[in-house]
Structures are given as structure tokens and as C-alpha cells.
Amino acid sequence: MTQKNAPTIKDVAREAGVAVGTVSKVINGRSVREPYRRKVEEAIRKLNYEVNTYARGLKLQKSNLIALIIPNTINPFFAAFADYIEEALYQRGYKLLLCCADGDPDKEVSYLTMATQNKVDGIIALTYSDIGNDIADDLPIVVFDRFFDNHVIPRVASDNFSGGCLAVEKLLEFGCRHPVYIRFHSIFPGESDKRRDGYLHACRKHGLEPDFLDEVDSPEALSMMRKFLQEHKRPDGSLTFDGVFAHTDYHGYMFLNLLREEGYRVPEDVQIIGFDGIRKFGGENESLFVSSICQPVRQLAAKCVELVLAEDRADIPSLTLLPVRYEYGGTTKKEKK
Amino acid sequence: MTQKNAPTIKDVAREAGVAVGTVSKVINGRSVREPYRRKVEEAIRKLNYEVNTYARGLKLQKSNLIALIIPNTINPFFAAFADYIEEALYQRGYKLLLCCADGDPDKEVSYLTMATQNKVDGIIALTYSDIGNDIADDLPIVVFDRFFDNHVIPRVASDNFSGGCLAVEKLLEFGCRHPVYIRFHSIFPGESDKRRDGYLHACRKHGLEPDFLDEVDSPEALSMMRKFLQEHKRPDGSLTFDGVFAHTDYHGYMFLNLLREEGYRVPEDVQIIGFDGIRKFGGENESLFVSSICQPVRQLAAKCVELVLAEDRADIPSLTLLPVRYEYGGTTKKEKK
DNA sequence: CTGTTAGCGCTTTCAC
DNA sequence: GTGAAAGCGCTAACAG
């Protein structure tokens, strides 16, 4: 219970000397004749009245609440995504219910169930659980990146394929001859799998032999990278590759540290391009951890909000891809002017 | 509107062949005789019934929703705080309404007003706006760090004074002779101001002359640091200080980059200790940006939740301080064993 | 145009 | 113990 005696629409009506219906109309912006409207507005101000969202929600079956299901807000990419989602929702008069479901499918399902029956008007999900079967058909939902084969759910993602191509193109442009790809992926299918396709496509186009590490993400990632590195050392200690496209900035940064530990120079000996565009301390003006293919997080979030709130669900594309861009982050040779 | 025809308590009652009151009791865990209880539970499962939170909220004036007002989730400290708040709330059956109010007092006040009248059961606020006057007296609210002189609001914070002392103690322990303090603070009073007191206290204790930069945080911070650095250079290029206690890790990291740009070695020439304990990519196992006095973010969040949900508001301490700890982050000389 | 009123789904007396 | 019914605050349909 928040306020014991919050004024109700009745109090306002009494104060203003009008009927509740009139007050309701004023509140909801319906046309009300001038002397009445003014009296009501005065009464509202005087009593400091605010609509009770529960009563309204009960009546309208609408909450103006959107649930965001996300693994966590610790990861800087998710954190930025959540921030921009909140911003876009607020602009449209919606509030954000935040659900961090990290590694807990039960928690995701619990939010999904709650959402299905009531409480929220829609869901934006960035999830790595297998929740396909728990998604109600008639609930507005938009997913980021993930693909569910058992439901037709509108998806929003970055153009990962182009991003994969772009990473290779950039590495070649900066002088690399042998770019490798280091990938640690989720076990669930999603658009980010296309980074791999982009890499392969670009290699084929340039007549390069693809060479990559492709594993399920796990705590073993570091040791797998270490092994990969050892296997690509020539007897003289030099490496058989001179460019790395990392599946994420995080993995790129791990690999960067590994290379430096082993005495290799970045970007002189090896250049690295990651994916995501994570900035130190999160700030938009801060530097990147590694040169990167940046996802347009703000635009992605805005698009998710736009789609989840769309009037006509039938008009929503089943897949929306937004463009990525390359940005220098210290692990590539500077672009030639 | 979420689900058009979600089953109601009436449907369940009909299905089970009992009265709605009985169903309500089962739902709310009141005692109901066995054959009835079983029939009701079966009906609930069969219809996939879930309570309508609006109806319940309207009746009970309770939402099981707590609003978190925070500048943003981009800053890693805030992001972690939000994450742990969500975790603690979820464990207690509450949901989190996230409000990122960055630089927008109107938005904060709008959330505050909303919360005052209805909708949420309490507020946890980490704010740098002047909202003291908009806080209702009877709404459960807990603030992190901030001090409002016009309201008695329970506050939770890290033990910043001890943290300030600890930073100096550590710098001295690692061989520094002249630790300076670099502070960029908010214009609003809060517990983090005590870092300064801790620094001064430790200097006095060790007979050191305090030397510090103390400015309001702004985009000029970097150039102020640069100026500070120039002013502390001796003719031979060496510095008059050999240790830096930075008000935050962020500022510590800025100063680190500045020092390295100018050719000084960290930690050989100058050691740096920041404050907060921000980790790269946010992960609990990741490394710090700089050696730091770490705030116990998870515990701070848990404490805020505990207090905002406390049964008896009269029992809540007006100030709760949690201990900080030092952690190595590459910008100090390693501890001697 | 304004005023009256039913009823959204739930909880909680209060009879039984 | 269970069942019936009032009413939380709001909106919208309908009557005036």
C-alpha cells in the first residue's frame, strides 16, 4: 500500500462539483466544456490527484508496462540495451519492468507466464533460454537476436552477416593477409550466428582459406584460445595469422591480453577486430576495448520498442536488421586517409 | 490488453464446483479442507489460471512493485547495482520498475509522484537531483548515498570515510610518500563526500601535507587533471607526488591514461587507487581498471531492498554503512606477502 | 454535451 | 469450515 488516502476520482468530482464521468473525460483528454474542464483541473491540482493505475488497469486490461527480459545488466551491451529501452518506452508513456534472468529459465518462464495472463502489455526479450514453448500467441513480444523455430516471433537484430564481412574487409584493408575468426557462441540459434557466415563469405570472395575456432561459450574459452594460439605458432615463434575477427569485443579483448602476454604486438604483429562496440565505463564518448564492428544499440532498442507497441501486429516484419559500422579501438592499424 | 480471455477466479470456481471465496483462500494459502483444495488446484492447473494483479492491486492497494530510480544503467556501477537490486527483489517476490532519470529531474519527480499516489510499493533511489521536496512522507523510500536535509530518509552507503583512509594507508604501505587526492564530485551532498574526509584524516594521522584537486564533476575534468599534473611537475620532469587516490575508478583510469601519455610509469613512478571496484566488462571475475577501494555492490543492493520492504519503518536506521575493501588492479605495487 | 451506473477480478467480511 | 455479496477506483455505455 502506498498512500492510504489518495484522492479518488470521486473526491475530485465532489471538489469540482461535477460528476465522475466528467472528471474521467478530463483525465483522458476527451472534450469537456470550458467552465467544467477548468473546475476539474483545479480540483485535481488542489487535491494532488493522480489516477490509480490499478483501477485503470483492471478496467482497461492495460498496464502501460513492458517487460524486458534480459540475462543481466552487468554485461555492458545488455546494460546499454536496457537503458535505451527504458528511454524509448518512457517517451511513449510506458514503464519498464526489468527482469534479469541470467541462467535461470524458470525465472524467464515465470515472467513470461505473468506477462501472458496480465500485468504487462508486451515483452521484449533478449534471452538465451529455450522459452519458445512458453510464449503465448497473442501477447505482443519482440525478441532480440534469437530465433525460435516453433513460433513466429518478430525479431530485431544487427546485420551480423554484413558485420562479419566488414570485419574481414577492414582487416584486409589494413594489411592483413591471414585473418582468423574466433567464435564462442550460445547453444541457441540466433542472428549472431551470421557473423560466421559473413566471415566465410568474405574469405571466399577474397580467395582466402578460412581458419577459425568455433566453440560453445564456456569458462574454458580462455584455455581454448590459448590452445588455438599454440597451434598457430610456427617453429620460429611467428604466427600463421595476422588478423583476428573475434565474435565479441569481450573475446577480442581476452585474445588481445593473451597475445600481449605471449609477447606479440597488437596491432603491429596481429590486428584484432571484435564485435559489439563495448566502451570502457559504458560512456558514449569513451574508447573501445578493441577495434570493433559496433552494433547500433540505441537504434536496436528503439526498434524493439516501436515493434512491441505497434498497433497492428500483422504489419510487423518477422525480421528487422539494422546496420553495423566499424570503429577504431586501438587494435588495428589506423585507417589510411 | 494482454490476454483477452484469461480465466478469472469465477471460472476456476465454476470448474471446481466451489465458491469464489474458496478459490481465493486456496490462492492465498489460507486453510481449506482437502477435497476442496484439491479440486481447486486441479481447476487452476487445468485452466492455466493466474491471478490478475490489477484486481488484486486495486483491492489491496499493493503492487509488489518497487521502483528503482537511477541515473542510468550504462555506468557499470549503476548497472551492477540495478542487477543486484532486481535479484534481491525477485527473491522476495517483488518486481522491479526501472527508471533511468539521467539528468532529468522532471522524470525523477514524475516517477516519484506516480509512486506516491499508487502503483509501486516503495522506491529505491540513487539520484543526483534535488528531489527532497517531492518525497512523500509515508512512502517507503531508501536512498543510496545521497543526503537530503529536508527529509529524514533512510540512507544506505559504503563506508566512504574508511575507504578514504584505507586508500591512503595502502598507498603508504606500498611505498608512497606523497599521496594526492583527485576528486570530482556532484553538487549534491552525499556519503561519498566522506572519501575526502578519510583522505584528510589519514594525512593528518601520518603527518602528511594534504594535496588535492577538488572540483565539481564536469566535462572539464580531463583538462583540470592535465593542469593539476603540470602544476606538480618539478623542473626535471619528475612529479611532486607518487601516489594518487582517485575519487572514482573512472577518474583514476583517466588519470592513469594521462600519466602514461606523459611518459610516467604506473605503478613504478606513481601508484593509483580508485574507488568503486568497476570491472572490465562488468564480470565478477574480470579485472579492475585500476587498483581500487571496492564498494560491496551486491550487499548494498540487498540492504536497500531489505530496508525498503521492512515491515516497521520506525525500526530502520537512518544511515547504514557497509564496509569497503581494497583490491589490486594493476596500478599499485603488489602487496608484500 | 453531462450525469448515472454497471462492472472489470479480486479479497474479505459476514451469514450460514 | 464454506458461500454470498460488497466494494476497491476507474471507464464507458447509456440516459437525460
Q: Is the CB of B18 under 7 A from strand D?
A: yes
Taking the CA of residue A20 and the C1' sugar atom of nucleotide C2, their distance in angstroms comes to 10
Positions in chain D where some atom is under 7 Å from a protein CB = 1-5, 7-13
Alpha helices (runs of H) in B92-181, residue ranges in sequence order: 105-117, 160-173
pLDDT in tens, B259-312: 999 999 999 999 999 999 999 999 888 999 999 999 999 999 999 999 999 988
Q: SS3 for B323?
A: coil
Pick among A87, A89, A119, A247 to test the B interface (most B CBs inside 10 A): A119
> What span, in angstroms and rounded, lies between the C-alpha atoms of B70 and B184?
19
CA A257 to chain centre: 27
Q: What sign for the dihedral angle of Cα B283, B285, B286, B290? A: positive
Say whether A74 and B80 touch across the interface (CB within 8 A): yes
Q: Measure A248 CA to nearest chain B CA, in Å.
A: 11
> What span, in angstroms and rounded, lies between the C-alpha atoms of B271 and A335?
34
What is the predicted pLDDT for the residue at B117? Answer: 67
What is the predicted pLDDT for the residue at B2? Answer: 41
Only one residue has cell 512458453, namely A134
> What span, in angstroms and rounded, lies between the C-alpha atoms of B34 and B239?
81
Say whether A107 and B90 touch across the interface (CB within 8 A): yes
Q: Which residues of chain B neighbour A83 with C-beta distances below 8 Å?
A: 72-74, 100
Residues composing chain A: 337
Q: What is the pTM of this model?
A: 0.93
Q: Which nucleotide is nearest to B12 (CA to C1')?
A: C9
Q: Which residue has the higher pLDDT, B30 or A270?
A: A270
What is the predicted pLDDT for the residue at B1? Answer: 37
Interchain CB contact of B91 with A (< 8 Å) = no
What is the predicted pLDDT for the residue at A204? Answer: 98
Cβ-nearest to B283 among A74, A82, A282:
A74
Q: What is the mean pLDDT of residues B192-211?
A: 97
Say whether B53 and A118 touch across the interface (CB within 8 A): yes
Q: SS3 for A37?
A: helix
C-alpha cell at position B73: 544503467
> What span, in angstroms and rounded, lies between the C-alpha atoms of B35 and B280?
57
For the cut 90, the answer to whether the pLDDT of residue A283 exceeds it is no
Q: Which residue has the higher pLDDT, B337 or B92?
A: B92
User: Smallest Cα–Cα separation from A91: which of A302, A297, A315, A311?
Assistant: A302
pLDDT in tens, B106-128: 888 888 877 776 678 899 999 88
State the pLDDT confidence band at A157, using cuts at 50, 70 and 90.
very high
Contact A158, A322 (CB under 8 A): yes
By the 10 Å C-beta count (0-12 exposed, 13-18 middle, 19+ buried), B190 is classed as: buried
Cβ-nearest to A58 among B54, B75, B283:
B54
Q: Is the CB of B20 under 7 A from strand C?
A: yes
Say whether A118 and B52 touch across the interface (CB within 8 A): yes
Computed over every residue of chain B, the mean pLDDT equals 91
Interchain CB contact of A114 with B (< 8 Å) = yes
pLDDT in tens, A319-334: 999 999 999 999 999 8
What is the predicted pLDDT for the residue at B164? Answer: 98
By the 10 Å C-beta count (0-12 exposed, 13-18 middle, 19+ buried), B106 is classed as: exposed
> What span, in angstroms and rounded, lies between the C-alpha atoms of B44 and A228?
54
User: Smallest Cα–Cα separation from B73: which of B62, B81, B65, B63?
Assistant: B81
Cβ-nearest to B57 among A4, A54, A113:
A54
- Report, in angstroms and rounded to the nearest whole number, the Rg of chain B calculated over CA atoms: 26
User: Smallest Cα–Cα separation from B237: which of B272, B264, B210?
Assistant: B264
